[in-house]
Amino acid sequence: MAYALVALGFVLALNAAGAVNFAHGDLVVLGGAVAVLLVGWLGLPGILLLPLVALALAAAGIVAAHVAILPLARRPPEATFVATIALAAMIEQGLTLTMGAAPHTTPPFLGSGAVTITIAGAGATLGLQPLAIVLVGGVLVAGLWLLLERTQVGRRMRAVAADRHMARAVGIPVARYVTLSLALSGALAGIAGFLLGHQFLVTPTQGAGHMLKAYIAVALGGWGSVPGALIGALAIGVFETFVSASIGDAWASAALYIAVLLVLTVRPRGLFGEPVGQRA
């Protein structure tokens, strides 16, 4: 479910920018790092921390939009790739410098204040944190769906994603909606980083891994499709759980990459295809 949040944020940024945001994985890590820092300063419980992390990363998303995406809107998508790769490296190195290469752990989402519950939760078969991830993830996915499908803002975001020239022609301020999408994307990444950070720790070098998984989820699920990204992310989660249980983590990743190469060999435009034609 946390993968789903990462992938959803990724697909939002992708649609808005028309190009891959290679810094997305590092925004996830940044979310975890912000949570670690904030808890050090303020000592807030997880439930209050969540909106703060989301806000901070929304701001980071806006910065990313203004630094690496909007100025390159008229250039080929590869320019955005390179710019966001550079941005990703900056975030990674910046975090290594400020918090060191050692892993940190974020506070749990539920608990902290009510220790007894955590212990009870740990005693049950379902851990409290995985439960929280599924809960928060479910709420956010539902909220995002409502936003995109049921509101004027969401319709405009989709219009910008589908055809930015047409969107501009009918009077939508494209740059503002690109920025908005990136802010949302950043917030989702931040929340995912915060939630993942408790179980899987936060290390500056994780970004590329997060990004790669989101990238795979989106490529398999159908480029730019929001439900596709969701299905892709869940599929990766299931795949990793089952395969790594039988052959170990490293070879599970290898199997995943091989599977991706095979899928792309057979279906060069992802499992569910991409309804985009070629132009002269």
Partner 1 sequence: MAERLATLVGLYALLGLGYQIVFGQLRALNLAQGALFGVGAYATALTAEQIGPFALLVAPLAAGAVAALAAPPMLRLQSHYFALATLALASLINLVALHAEGLTGGANGLVGFGVALPRGTTLAIVVWLVLIAAVIAYAFVFRGAMGEKARLLREAPLVAATLGIDGALWRFTAFVVGGAVAGLAGGFSAALTGVVSPEATGFSVMLLCLTAVVLGGARHPLGAVLGAAVAVLLPELFRGLQGSWLLAYAAATLAVVLWAPEGLAGLFTRPRAATLPRPIAPAARPLHLVLTGVSKRFGGVEALGDVSFAVERSEVVGLIGPNGSGKTTLLNVISGLERADSGTIVLDSIGLEHLPPHAIARLGIGRTFQTPIEGESRGAGLARAVSNGAAFLLLDEPAAGMTDRERDALAHWLERLRRTRGIVLVDHDIELLTRVCDRLVCLEGGRIIAVGSPAEVRADPRVRASFLGVPA
Q: Site residues (CB under 8 A) for partner 1?
A: 19-20, 67-68, 71-72, 75-79, 81-83, 85-90, 93-94, 96-97, 208, 212, 215-216, 219, 223, 250-251, 253-254, 257-258, 260-261, 264-265, 268-270, 278-280
Quick count: other Cβ atoms within 10 Å of Cβ 56?
A: 20
CB nearer to partner 1: give 109 or 215.
Answer: 215
The least CB distance from residue 139 to partner 1, in Å, is: 30
Please tell me the distance from the alpha carbon of residue 175 to that of residue 157, in angstroms, as a whole number: 11
The least CB distance from residue 190 to partner 1, in Å, is: 21
CB nearer to partner 1: give 151 or 205.
Answer: 205
The least CB distance from residue 178 to partner 1, in Å, is: 16
CB nearer to partner 1: give 153 or 258.
Answer: 258
The least CB distance from residue 253 to partner 1, in Å, is: 6
Q: Are 92 and 211 in contact (CB under 8 A)?
A: no
Nearest alpha carbon to residue 8 among 137, 177, 134? 137
Give, to the nearest 10 degrees, the angle between helix 128-150 and helix 152-162: 80
Tokens at residue 114, please? 């009510």
The least CB distance from residue 208 to partner 1, in Å, is: 6
Segments in the chain forming alpha helices (H): 2-17, 24-42, 46-64, 77-99, 115-123, 128-150, 152-162, 164-169, 174-200, 207-221, 226-247, 249-266
CB nearer to partner 1: give 76 or 171.
Answer: 76
CB nearer to partner 1: give 169 or 276.
Answer: 276
